[in-house]
Structure 1
């Protein structure tokens, strides 16, 4: 290898190319035996500093040089070939043993066991005995998770050595393996199986089903056909796993317990490392030179940690650790009940605090702030409570959502000093957003509005609404209460209304009306109906607006809210005036069109076919009035 690098260096110098990147000590004409020892020492140096990648490269270089020396020794056939072969063989299996330890440190357990087994085989071929290599081979088997084979190997290899100290080393490892095996398949396993037998049976059936459907002899289209998948698409769709908020919280809690049981205070570091793999701030896509390397490094480190944790779990299962903590079952159940009572008491206090805050925000009249507060509280706290902790969960949800619905109804009031007969005030009458008139010219003056900043602000608001709609859809997918579904559908419709997607707004509001009807909630039926009225008022659909206003008036009558009834009657009156004016204009337009068509005929008959001019003038006067 050194000769080839020097030849490449000479050729590069002759041609005028760049020379290979070599270390200073690699440019010297060292003997192959010296280079082998140097590479091995560098490998030990990197391994001590936990640079396993560099250490494995150095060990590979040392083994390649050692194998090259062995081939040259066999080809030369000199008198000292036997002694040199023995020396090279010893150097080879010691390097293999070091590489095995390095691979096991890097969580390559199977490769480490292969190197350790090869090192022991080469040692026996040379007639040497080294108990450390034999023990390393046994430990590599144990790292692979094969406890029975590990105990058998200890018994077989231990009989080949004499001496009390050596026998104690084998016996100590055998006792540790026996203890780990008893912890895995002891009494704790019976309790775990009795408690989780349905889940265990389901997982076993799924594994058998996967083994039957997936075979190596089948082609790709046959495998996809057995799985009822399409074999035409080049890119298969990945089904996203949709979990309820309560199930997500359970899995997070279980993962934290698993990490803390085996890593203790480093559990937070594992969670951070898992999040860094998909963090755009850490893995910046605008830095292509560093991002792939950082992604590969974080992925490898997280994979290695998970492998080591699986090894620790195989030796000391989680169910055994849980049972070990609860030596007294009665005391453990008593502590659990005390803990649950404490959580239930604190939850009750939090619920009363939430109710006081919702009443205060409703009194202030800030509906958007109240909506955001309820959304945050329900997502972070209430949805994660079970009926054991919060037995009156439905009553609490009903109370909170009714307060929010009444806050929306409180907005429906006539603004002061408003001329509802003027069509320009329809936006204020129907509580619509007033569209600002934006200038399309970019002003360069100091203190003048900037169009680009307004565009960026609008884009940010649209992104916020899109994320909110996605979050509400996810909550809707796992909601169990009709009044909560009515609220979620209403909020999704409001998001569509703010983004000017009026057709989707009407669809979601109609679904909200149906959900509110199923739970007999007049409040949310009215809110959804009035939202549909706002959509029709935006497009000046007078006929449809009249129908929805009639429905809203009936609901307001059932709610016995006099102010709301007066407001809706005012809206209905303004809409009727607009509708009558529209009909008058329509009639006048049709009459004038008919007059023009009859005039074009230029009939020579009696002029009695023409409409009287007095009728046309009176219709025009009525339209202007």
Structure 2
């Protein structure tokens, strides 16, 4: 056959396209089996350089070309185990073992059998690992059984740490705690309704003490198995929910960073779970303190240290409160007490703070007395009208005076639409925090304080009806704990809302209740202040009464004139 090209073939037009960019090993027409082997070898090369994501991509390409390649499946299983993906690695090596067993004749590989047992062990399935290793010993002998025997020795040590005689008491204690939790869980009751509907899931609210306890357990758990690296894991956990790390407006990088953080945190958690399965925390404590007396001594010393430190912190808090009261910084005092009582004291138990009730009463009484001292008769009131004078006495903003004093700038006021209202956002955060604290408030005095703060927040947000209802609830809680201070402060919130709305009759009754409480507390300044408020309110009532009489007389005169004009027209007609 001639090697020369024919005339038609030599005159053929070349293809109108750019030649594809091929890599050196893609120029030759390799078979799929050869290409799969090349990709698998490249994957092992990158895995030795610890470039696991690139290596996994090459091994996946190898399996795409040849899905039933047992060697590539085992390599991907080893790679996934190195990356901390033991359950996925178990699927690959189990599939490789099944492929070899389906051949004719069946092939039994000791290497793949050990790979399956290692994947089971790293998947925290200790019982299945033990069964697999004993099956390996029955199949193989001599040199091939040495590796399985070593793995069985390690597995026996793990079983000794979990279920030894020394750990009997901690295991019994843990089982009893688990049974108590299962017994206290509410049982699901099926409805008799046949309509299939989506049931609402009740939101579970955790107390501040429970949140602090869980955070503490997480730190102890991480420090036990990761030593000093637990700080990095804690930092990584906070970064996962930090909006500054992966902002929403960064469309590409945010997704990548979020995925990277999740994968790294998942790897750390997988490692700690594997270590915990092989040697639980109670076994580690037993190894660290072989003598029970030594363990109890260390535990008591730690308790006494925390108690003494808490006592020192409490005295420092009280000194700071007294200093702020002397300086007259009521706003700073309110923020400081809210932070201390909401974030610090709520995380302490009665064992650490046996004086918790007394300290709570003292702090809230300090705050209440500091707020009562605000209600004093001003030396000079510039406003001379009744309602405005009443607002000035209660130190409420007067919109009319603000509108008169403000000057219009020369520049054009262009209204800009803001997507969020800072005042509403602040109110929602404050209300959510106070309502969450109300769920776990232990004492009536604390509930009275929280309800008063909610009423004050509603008053500042101009929702006056809600402020009155919250103040009434605070008044009931204050009466329950016999606190005249917080009862008076709750009545003052009601008086402010009535004064803003102009409800003078209700304001009169509320001021009468406040006057009786002021007399009961024997506070002359408060009695004088309330009496002045009553007099100003009476002036406002008289002014309203005169205004209504004048308006009625004008209406009567206008109606009389209309009648006389109508009679005159009838007579003329």
> Paired residue for 1:619?
none
What CA deviation, in whole Å up to 9, does each residue of 1:553-577 have, x standing for no partner?
1111111100111111111111111
Q: Contact between 1:490 and 1:528, CA under 8 Å: does it hold in 2? A: yes
C-alpha spacing 1:413/1:25, structure 2 compared with 1 (3 Å): farther
Number of matched pairs: 548
> Paired residue for 2:163?
185
Report how far residue 517 of structure 1 moved.
Answer: 0.6
Report how far residue 205 of structure 1 moved.
Answer: 6.2
> Paired residue for 1:141?
120
C-alpha spacing 1:205/1:575, structure 2 compared with 1 (3 Å): closer
C-alpha spacing 1:526/1:21, structure 2 compared with 1 (3 Å): farther
> Paired residue for 2:8?
none
Whole-angstrom CA distance in 2 between matches of 1:38 and 1:440: 80
Pick which of 31-40 and 252-261 moved more: 31-40
C-alpha spacing 1:490/1:23, structure 2 compared with 1 (3 Å): farther
Whole-angstrom CA distance in 2 between matches of 1:238 and 1:290: 34
Report how far residue 246 of structure 1 moved.
Answer: 0.5
C-alpha spacing 1:49/1:364, structure 2 compared with 1 (3 Å): same
Whole-angstrom CA distance in 2 between matches of 1:291 and 1:15: 42
> Paired residue for 1:538?
500
Pick which of 259-268 and 495-504 moved more: 259-268
> Paired residue for 2:394?
430
> Paired residue for 1:73?
none
TM-score (norm 1): 0.79
What CA deviation, in whole Å up to 9, does each residue of 1:137-174 have, x standing for no partner?
2212222333233223223323444446x544322211
Pick which of 130-139 and 335-344 moved more: 130-139
**Matched residue SS, 1:103:** helix
C-alpha spacing 1:191/1:587, structure 2 compared with 1 (3 Å): same
Q: Does 1:108 find its partner at 2:71? A: no
> Paired residue for 2:457?
495
**Matched residue SS, 2:251:** coil
Q: Contact between 1:183 and 1:316, CA under 8 Å: does it hold in 2? A: yes
The one of 127, 152, 157 aligned to 1:174: 152
Whole-angstrom CA distance in 2 between matches of 1:21 and 1:593: 97
C-alpha spacing 1:505/1:45, structure 2 compared with 1 (3 Å): farther
Correspondence list, 1:80-479, <5 A: 92-120=69-97, 125=103, 131-163=110-142, 166-187=144-165, 190-202=168-180, 231-232=196-197, 237-418=200-381, 421-423=384-386, 424-435=388-399, 436-437=402-403, 444=411, 459-479=421-441
Whole-angstrom CA distance in 2 between matches of 1:440 and 1:237: 54
C-alpha spacing 1:19/1:203, structure 2 compared with 1 (3 Å): farther
**Matched residue SS, 2:252:** coil
Whole-angstrom CA distance in 2 between matches of 1:381 and 1:399: 16
Whole-angstrom CA distance in 1 between matches of 2:503 and 2:221: 60
The one of 602, 605, 614 aligned to 2:564: 602
Q: Contact between 2:74 and 2:96, CA under 8 Å: does it hold in 1? A: yes
Report how far residue 535 of structure 1 moved.
Answer: 1.0
Whole-angstrom CA distance in 2 between matches of 1:451 and 1:181: 75
C-alpha spacing 1:600/1:461, structure 2 compared with 1 (3 Å): closer
C-alpha spacing 1:109/1:229, structure 2 compared with 1 (3 Å): farther
Q: Contact between 1:440 and 1:451, CA under 8 Å: does it hold in 2? A: no
Higher relative contact order (CA 8 A, sep 6+): 2
Q: Contact between 1:100 and 1:116, CA under 8 Å: does it hold in 2? A: yes
5+ residue gaps, structure 2: 1-13, 568-573
> Paired residue for 1:61?
61
5+ residue gaps, structure 1: 1-12, 69-91, 214-224, 606-625
Whole-angstrom CA distance in 2 between matches of 1:534 and 1:232: 47
> Paired residue for 1:609?
none
Q: Contact between 1:33 and 1:66, CA under 8 Å: does it hold in 2? A: yes
Report how far residue 545 of structure 1 moved.
Answer: 1.1
C-alpha spacing 1:537/1:19, structure 2 compared with 1 (3 Å): farther
C-alpha spacing 1:394/1:288, structure 2 compared with 1 (3 Å): same
CA RMSD, Structure 1 to Structure 2 (Å): 3.4
Pick which of 110-119 and 571-580 moved more: 110-119
Q: Contact between 1:193 and 1:200, CA under 8 Å: does it hold in 2? A: no
